[in-house]
Structure 1
Amino acid sequence: METLTIKTPADVLSFVGHTLGFWPQESLVCITLDANHIGVTLRVDLPKHDGAERAYARTVAGYLANDTNATSALFAVYTSAAPTAGQDKPYAAVIAALTGALAERHITIRDGLLVGDQTVSPYDDDPNPNCALPLSMIDSSEINAELVYRGSSVARTGRITLPASSKETTTFYAVEDRVKLIGQSHDHGAIEKARTLWAGILEAKTYPTDDQTIALIANFQFAAIRDQLMADIPGVDGPMEKILLAQTPGKPQWDRVEWAQQVLLHAYTLSSTHHSAPLLTAIGYINWWEGRGSKAHQYMQLALEADPDYRLAKLSDQLLGYGMLAGWNMDKETAYRTRGLGMSD
């Protein structure tokens, strides 16, 4: 893959948008760096109240420190709050606290940007409207052009919009009938049958038939089968628990992972609310593996809306809340879509 070099503010913002998959709003975005290579990208909501800047900064720094290779970081403050001449930039206290919290972890801030509704400017101590550049310049960014060419896109917001679902239809009864058949099996054959079906679906170039999809939905209703099918998604070797936590040395087959997400979203459209929580949780894991923590959290929340007692979604959302990052994203050789990206001074 051709190496892409980030040189300008427009390149930075293009990279952030394509990495997150959406344009941040009222957000702090940080990117860790190891020498001139990009590590992880973190987006968090900006604090809504004054007085908790240090606690907020320590939390953010703790997230970033999970990238053990990081030596420096970039940040961007996305806000509609405009700088005022002669006064601090918006969220100056937050950035000051973050600078100190990162320094305690031996991470320096290389640069920062203030991103408004229409312009972007350097984040420094001297607000100067003459330094602002129009956001429209992103359209001509080389990074943006290349990532669009590769099929990436940036949504206007980070809010997930699920595809239309048939919900409460005869599919419910078809899935329930299949669940009963699987439940009556008293050997390990059910898991192997489920893995064979799943492997064929992941290797195919077209969506599964309705009958295959119903079988897939039914398989995901069983925790043991669900966990194994999720572990089969990345196409890497290792213990199931290590794969689920993204802690294997092998590089995931990211094209296969993306296709699995599309198939699971397709299955969601044929699932009833009663059966959709396992599918949404699995999609949440995929987004976490890819470094999209915000979207992973939303999928876990959607799973809990479908089933408030769904244990895996509860535990997984707690894991996200603690700031745990997928191990694959700690290494540029295994991370999702970060290989081939570098910084230029």
Structure 2
Amino acid sequence: MTEKLTITGSADLLATVPHLLGNQPKESFVVLTARANTLGATLRVDAPAEADPLDYAQTLTTYAANDEKATESYLIVYTDEVMVYGYPYAAHVAMLVTELATARMPVRQVLLVTSTYWGTYGTAERNPLDAIKDSQANATLTYFGSATDIDVYNPALLGGRALPVEAPEGTFEDLDMACATWAAVLDADGMPDTEAARALAAAFQHRHIRDFLFRDTITTHNGSFGDVLTGKLTGRPDWARVDRAEAIAFELMKVVPAGQRAPMLTLMGWLQWLKGHGSQADRYLKLAAEDVSDFRLAVLLRELINRGHIADVARDEATSYKRRLI
């Protein structure tokens, strides 16, 4: 599709956010960068709670500044925090507005969204949420197939009767076979049959082979697992292939029991992080560390994300993932 989405008001702007993120934010700050009447990056972080306003604002501004072409920004506060006086997170909002302006991305509008209404932050405005649902932008995005609340991982669909698989010994022959099978599955149509799925799920149980399968999910790499893992790629990845890898990872989890799903959950979390979706990434990695207690790769990646590190591939507009809207 080549249609261009036109945003004509606040309801339209709010309607685009769940489509951009893939889910409806809750207790979050969302910063949208923009330039020349065009939206740029979308950044979502948890609401600040007890965080120092200046530290919080500077961290978010640093993230937003990765969009080097941005000339302005929008801030949306999603919260049900109730204040006796004033507005929720007022100090954090004020500091963030100041920091973004200092970074030459002045905030054009601050909006507040609760579970019952939305309006301009700092005013008594109260608009029904149906105004967002019924907006022209939401209607257009939905019509062209965009969906919100996308979640590849659904434990209810996995079942609980699959037999365990046995990891291969890790010989060169095992490695070559696993890499060839993984490449064939990623490049094929449809999903692997049960035999192929169990063979791949078994290969993911071997740490050394797993690392190669992670690396080979991305076609634009220099061969270094460390570089690939941290998002230092040689070009724009085939993001359609990445999307397919996530879907296949879910299929692989169907053919193994709990306790053997951590490698696939880690793959899903890592791919979400490469896309710039830190919150979803952290969720999958947390599930991986629960499936296999303190699954090391998941723990290390969570530490990287929680320190605020953004994958290099997500920092560059030319290589970053673009969630297709229309």
TM over 0.5: yes
Q: Deviations over 1:62-108 (max 9, x none)?
A: 33234444443211011224688xx5332211101212333444432
Moved more, 137-146 or 286-295: 137-146
2:157 alignment partner, SS class: coil
Residue 256 (structure 2) pairs with residue 263 (structure 1): no
CA contact (8 A) 1:68 1:330 kept: no
Total equivalences in the alignment: 324
Aligned partners of 1:238 and 1:70: how far apart in 2?
A: 31
Residue 73 (structure 2) pairs with residue 77 (structure 1): no
4+ long deviations beyond 6 Å: none
Residue 182 (structure 2) pairs with residue 198 (structure 1): yes
Name the structure 2 match of 1:155. 149
2:108 alignment partner, SS class: strand
Moved more, 255-264 or 51-60: 51-60
Aligned partners of 1:257 and 1:5: how far apart in 2?
A: 29
Name the structure 1 match of 2:8. 7
Matches within 5 A, 1:57-136: 57-81=57-81, 88-124=86-122, 127-129=123-125, 132-136=126-130
1:32 alignment partner, SS class: strand
Q: Deviations over 1:136-168 (max 9, x none)?
A: 122333332333234322229x89643433446
Name the structure 2 match of 1:212. 196
Query: Cα offset for 1:340?
Result: 8.4
Residue 54 (structure 2) pairs with residue 54 (structure 1): yes
Aligned partners of 2:308 and 2:67: how far apart in 1?
A: 11
Name the structure 1 match of 2:306. 321
CA contact (8 A) 1:2 1:340 kept: no
Residue 271 (structure 2) pairs with residue 273 (structure 1): no
Aligned partners of 2:79 and 2:69: how far apart in 1?
A: 29
Aligned partners of 2:143 and 2:79: how far apart in 1?
A: 29
CA contact (8 A) 1:61 1:101 kept: yes
Q: Deviations over 1:209-243 (max 9, x none)?
A: 11111111111122332222223224435444444
Aligned partners of 2:229 and 2:161: how far apart in 1?
A: 31
CA pair 311-39 structure 1, distance change in 2 beyond 3 A: farther
Give the partner amino acid of 1:319.
L
Query: Cα offset for 1:316?
Result: 0.5
Query: Cα offset for 1:322?
Result: 1.6
1:200 alignment partner, SS class: helix
Name the structure 1 match of 2:169. 183
Query: Cα offset for 1:338?
Result: 5.1
Query: Alignment partner for residue 135 of structure 2, among 121, 136, 141?
Result: 141
Name the structure 2 match of 1:28. 29
Structure with the bigger RCO (C-alpha within 8 Å, sep 6+) is 1
Gaps in structure 1 of 5+ consecutive residues: none
Query: Cα offset for 1:249?
Result: 5.0
Gaps in structure 2 of 5+ consecutive residues: none
Name the structure 2 match of 1:246. 231
Query: Cα offset for 1:297?
Result: 0.3
Query: Cα offset for 1:282?
Result: 0.2
Aligned partners of 1:36 and 1:247: how far apart in 2?
A: 31
CA pair 190-159 structure 1, distance change in 2 beyond 3 A: closer
